Structure 1
Amino acid sequence: MCNFLLELTAIFVLAKLFGLISWSWLLVFMPLIVMIAVVMLLIGLGIAVGLH
């Protein structure tokens, strides 16, 4: 899943740079932001379970 989101982000960035889409940069980087959020959530859950 990680590779898919990175490839999707790269496709969105290239499409934005070549003018194929007129989305905001926030939407362009949304797959990367979601991936970082999921990783942080899993790390947080791992720490919370480990401390319990």
Structure 2
Amino acid sequence: GQTWTLMLMSLILFIGSTNLLGLLPHSFTPTTQLSMNLGMAIPLWAGAVITGFR
């Protein structure tokens, strides 16, 4: 419950704000890049595994 709330809320706010950048003309959303997705996914996955072991 409370362990995941801060992480999930910050993730939702970050993804939402970066996707809103795509509404600006002549710009792209950073989440379309594979490096951005992997840069977010690997630490989140590792954090979930470490938290799950506790």
Which TM-score band applies after superposition, normalised by the shorter structure?
0.3 to 0.5
Larger RCO: 1 or 2 (CA < 8 Å, sep 6+): 1
Q: Which has the larger radius of gyration?
A: 1
